[in-house]
């Protein structure tokens, strides 16, 4: 469990807030456009319809030698542009933007794609036309992909394609200008480059007719704190320019032409939420101690080393999930032992003795590393991913374990814990532990506590047996919800039904906690439900000891929990377990 503290608790001196409710619009019969939530928040502003201008070229043919040289020059310039954008992003509080443009650089240099382009050039076609043909073919193929996350990457490839075509055409990309004031930007879709060029003084929210919540555009929107709704269908594109609207990014809805009552309700909610958030931010270093003295450990989920210091500054009491995949993706070879060792040491140093749970690489599903030569799968989420891949690639797994143990040896004893993802059977857990212990003996490092991710129903059903073999269990509510309800949480039509507060999911969590506690082990949650104040309340009531959440939610969740007693939250959780639908569960907090 995350160790005791940052600051001591003083209930008499500090203000406590009950959880901020989600906005409930009055039933006025107002028109509503429904999409999928990609970034939370509520904004009120007029609509600005954005139309992206695509560069297109014709095949005028050319000398292959000349066209090859031209192509190489343009690629070099495109790579330099992306490097500059990545460097600029690293210098500001948007490291995720730098990571996305690093991904674009890797895509730009895809050897198979470049070979295909050069083949067309050798056949006498213009370099620009050859590039355009290959990009259009690949974008179309990605958009037809059954895997929604892979389909979302079509926007990245289109973005790269247009960047190169603009260089061929000598066109200069300027940030698009909007009229003075605040606007909700509406578009069919936005590329990462579009989103990166947005002026936050003008654009306060985004709404797209297509796209998905896992796209790089959606990730950038969340990093910028822009309320965003995606997959809202083509009706949003017909809204007249300047139409006043209320955009509820949290619920995935937009209300065009709201009446006075709806507007007043939205403005009142925004003002109340701003006041609560200001108080929460001011008290972010205080622990989450309930009114009866029970303490809930609040840690952060991070996906790169640079986020560790940010998490602590935001109020985290440690890192409950370090996703190590960021080191394995978007590169041509696996990271070396030394590369990984230095990254883990960087995180350990940033935490300054606070606890750190490192999850071994969770590749597979929608996270693809080409150098691993994974065979195509009809359903990759039921295939070789997580610990299954690690055990099948001991060459890669052992290098990570060596780096982990070497780094752990530099930390305060007991600080670093190792967590295995996608554990479905005892056999997989025992094999992973055996591999880790063998590596530890080689390295000569002290032992680290083991934990597992509980993400599939079989792990819930076997939780007691699994708990006997590890120090803790951490529930990944996103995947557990997906597997329990048999709904792809990113599905454009069904995604919003994949609610982690569904009674079926809550009952699985309850069963896991009771099984682990019977073996004297603690349970954490590092999935999305823990970042939702209502979810944090219910999880605490179910007996979860540690919540590892997204950095922006840290202060809000801590402030929320301080307003309740253990008895209140246990009662709330019992009532939730007796509900029949997720809607009923969420209604309990109103």
Catalytic residue list: 216, 526
Q: How far are the Cα atoms of 133, 352, 356, 415, 439 from residue 448, in angstroms, in the given order?
A: 52, 18, 11, 8, 12
Strand partners, 288: 296
The terminus-to-terminus CA distance of the chain in angstroms comes to 31
Q: How far apart are CA 448 and CA 460, in angstroms?
A: 24
Identify the CA nearest to 45 among candidates 209, 261, 196, 241.
Answer: 241
Contact 39, 226 (CB under 8 A): yes
Q: How far apart are CA 148 and CA 150, in angstroms?
A: 5
Give the number of other Cβ atoms within 10 Å of residue 225's Cβ: 14
Contact 24, 247 (CB under 8 A): no
Q: How far apart are CA 209 and CA 185, in angstroms?
A: 11
- Strand arrangement of the beta sheet that strand 203-208 belongs to: 33-34, 253-256, 244-248, 42-49, 183-187, 203-208, 228-230, 36-39
Identify the CA nearest to 546 among candidates 354, 299, 356, 351.
Answer: 299
242: buried, middle or exposed (CB in 10 Å: 19+, 13-18, 0-12)?
Answer: exposed
For 293-326, b/e burial (b = at least 16 CB within 10 A) is: eebbbbbbbbbbbbbbbbbbebbbbbbbbbbbbb
Q: How far apart are CA 548 and CA 546, in angstroms?
A: 6
For 192-202, b/e burial (b = at least 16 CB within 10 A) is: bbbbbebeeeb
Contacts by 3-8, CB closer than 8 A, 24 or more apart: 3/317, 3/318, 3/354, 3/355, 4/295, 5/287, 5/317, 6/285, 6/286, 6/287, 6/315, 6/317, 7/285, 7/286, 7/287, 8/287
Which three-class secondary structure state does DSSP give residue 526?
Answer: coil
Identify the CA nearest to 118 among candidates 185, 64, 166.
Answer: 64
Q: How far apart are CA 500 and CA 81, in angstroms?
A: 41
Q: How far apart are CA 472 and CA 488, in angstroms?
A: 27
Q: How far apart are CA 2 and CA 356, in angstroms?
A: 8
């Amino acid at each position: 469990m995350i160790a005791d503290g940052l600051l001591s608790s003083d209930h008499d001196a500090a203000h406590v807030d009950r959880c901020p409710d989600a906005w409930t619009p009055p039933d006025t019969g107002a028109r509503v456009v429904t999409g999928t939530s990609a970034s939370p928040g509520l904004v009120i502003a007029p609509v600005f319809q954005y139309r992206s201008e695509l560069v297109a070229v014709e095949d005028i043919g050319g000398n292959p030698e000349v066209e090859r040289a031209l192509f190489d020059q343009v690629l070099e310039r495109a790579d330099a542009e992306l490097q500059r954008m990545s460097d600029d992003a690293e210098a500001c509080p948007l490291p995720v933007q730098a990571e996305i443009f690093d991904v674009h650089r890797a895509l730009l240099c895809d050897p198979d794609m470049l070979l295909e382009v050069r083949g067309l050039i050798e056949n006498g076609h213009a370099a620009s036309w050859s590039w355009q043909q290959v990009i259009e073919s690949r974008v179309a193929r990605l958009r037809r992909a059954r895997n929604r996350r892979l389909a979302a990457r079509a926007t990245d490839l289109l973005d790269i394609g247009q960047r190169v075509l603009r260089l061929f055409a000598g066109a200069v990309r300027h940030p698009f200008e909007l009229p003075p004031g605040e606007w909700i930007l509406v578009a069919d879709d936005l590329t990462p480059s579009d989103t990166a060029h947005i002026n936050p003084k003008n654009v306060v929210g985004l709404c797209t007719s297509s796209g998905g919540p896992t796209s790089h555009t959606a990730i950038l929107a969340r990093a910028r704190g822009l309320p965003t709704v995606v997959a809202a269908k083509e009706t949003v594109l017909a809204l007249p320019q300047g139409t006043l609207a209320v955009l509820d990014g949290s619920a995935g809805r937009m209300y065009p032409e709201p009446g006075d009552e709806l507007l007043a309700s939205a403005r009142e909610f925004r003002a109340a939420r701003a006041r609560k958030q200001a108080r929460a931010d001011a008290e972010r270093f205080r622990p989450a101690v309930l009114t009866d003295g029970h303490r809930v450990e609040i840690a952060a989920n991070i996906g790169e080393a640079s986020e560790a210091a940010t998490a602590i500054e935001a109020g985290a009491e440690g890192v409950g999930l370090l996703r190590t995949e960021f080191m394995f993706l978007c590169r041509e070879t696996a990271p070396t032992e030394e590369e990984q060792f230095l990254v883990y040491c960087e995180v350990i140093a940033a935490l300054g003795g606070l606890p750190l749970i490192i999850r071994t690489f969770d590749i597979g599903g929608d996270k693809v590393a080409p150098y691993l030569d994974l065979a195509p799968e009809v359903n990759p989420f039921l295939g070789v991913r997580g610990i299954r891949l690690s055990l099948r690639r001991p060459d890669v797994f052992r290098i990570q374990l060596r780096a982990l143990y070497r780094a752990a040896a530099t930390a305060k004893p007991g600080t670093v814990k190792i967590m295995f993802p996608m554990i479905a059977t005892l056999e997989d857990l025992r094999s992973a532990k055996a591999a880790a212990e063998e590596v530890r003996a080689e390295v000569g490092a002290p032992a680290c506590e083991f934990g597992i991710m509980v993400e599939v129903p079989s792990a819930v059903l076997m939780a007691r047996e699994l708990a006997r073999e590890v120090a803790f269990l951490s529930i990944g509510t996103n995947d557990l919800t997906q597997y329990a309800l048999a709904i792809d949480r990113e599905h454009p039509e069904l995604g919003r039904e994949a609610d982690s507060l569904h009674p079926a999911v809550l009952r699985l969590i309850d069963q896991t906690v009771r099984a682990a506690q019977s073996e004297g082990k603690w349970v954490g949650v590092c999935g999305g439900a823990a970042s939702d104040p209502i979810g944090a309340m219910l999880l605490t009531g179910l007996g979860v000891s540690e919540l590892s959440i997204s950095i922006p939610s840290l202060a809000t969740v801590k402030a929320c929990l301080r307003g309740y007693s253990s008895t209140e939250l246990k009662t709330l959780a019992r009532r939730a377990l007796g509900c029949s639908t997720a809607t009923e569960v969420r209604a309990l907090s109103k």
